[in-house]
Structure 1
Amino acid sequence: MTPIASTRTCFMLSYLCFGLVAFAMWLQHVERLAPCPLCILQRYAFVGAGLFFLLSGLFGGALARSGLWLSALMSALGAAVAARHVYVLYNPSVSCGLDPVEDFVNSLPPAQWLPQLFFADGACGAKLPPILGLDIPEWSLLWLALLALVAVLLSLRRR
């Protein structure tokens, strides 16, 4: 019986997700770019997708397929949040700063346990310097959409 997706592929996708979160941490703590509530929700999506990719790599059969579908779901939800973030960036009249979203994100248990990773204190509409021509939320949208697509394609593979 061959696996749905190779263990190596799932682990590499998991490492990619965690690496992108590590890059976000570097931007926050070294470059001093404060994360906004939408940024934090995107971090949750990357961490969730990474954990489900990791579980898919560890287990086979139906568990691996379920993990891939859950990775796709987490990535798609994160992509929706990133799309909203891009919309906020290009429409300055829209805001997500001091509102119920920030209160909700900061009241979640991970924000209390790991505030250096999951606590939001930035403005969503803040214009940051682009990285290779794209804003950070655009990069996030690109990566999350790609991860969702790859997870769906891997989960649809036949044995």
Structure 2
Amino acid sequence: MCNKLFAGRRGYFLGFVASFGLVGLALFLQQKYNLEPCPLCISQRIAFMALGILFLLAALHNPGRVGRKVYGLLHVIAAATGIGIAARHIWIQANPDKVMAECGAGFDYIMETFPLKKALDLIFKGTGECSAIDWTLFGLTIPQLSLIAFVGLGLFAVLLAFHKKA
């Protein structure tokens, strides 16, 4: 069963569905609970989409042994980026007094107004709105759940990279 599930295209397609399913879940929660995503939330969504696109490309390509390792490395880089963003977000939520107290500019405003390097600096510094905890599941915040998902998807990518093709 595991061989068929993780073999070639199926495994990569499963990673694609999981990645974009998480983005869909974030959009659902945003609409259902009227949540306004902060810049770090949006950055995490972008990281999930990047992972999903890489999984989709791998599914379409159906790589051989070396290609699986290359895709695995790319997946791990994307997952590690997401882990870093989520970890920063968790830190900001745990230390709201160390982040500016007032709400900062939104993601769209930052990206449209500032050069890319400055915009990325502002996004990753976090804003007051990044420290807000608006929704939890089993006591875990959305960034904590995202961190778990990034770790899981990264490990899944490593599994796919070293799994023998059926």
TM bin (shorter chain): 0.7 to 0.9
Is 2:11–2:160's contact at 8 Å kept on the other side of the alignment?
no
Residue 139 (structure 1) aligned with residue 145 (structure 2): yes
- Give 1:72's aligned residue: 76
TM-score, normalised on structure 1? 0.78
Is 2:93–2:132's contact at 8 Å kept on the other side of the alignment?
yes
- Give 1:95's aligned residue: 99
What is the Cα deviation at residue 131 of structure 1? 1.0
Structure richer in helix, relative to its length: 2
**For residues 6-21 of structure 1, what are the structure 2 equivalents within 5 Å?**
6-21=8-23
Is 1:38–1:85's contact at 8 Å kept on the other side of the alignment?
yes
The letter of the residue matching 1:75 is A
**Counterparts of 1:7 and 1:27, CA distance in 2:** 30
Is 2:39–2:130's contact at 8 Å kept on the other side of the alignment?
yes
Any unmatched runs of 5+ in structure 1?
109-120
Identity of aligned residues (%): 35
The superposition leaves residues 25-49 of structure 1 with CA deviations (integer Å, 9 ceiling, x where unpaired) of: 1111221111011111101110000
TM-score, normalised on structure 2? 0.75
What is the Cα deviation at residue 15 of structure 1? 0.2
What is the Cα deviation at residue 65 of structure 1? 3.5
Secondary structure, counterpart of 1:127 in structure 2: coil
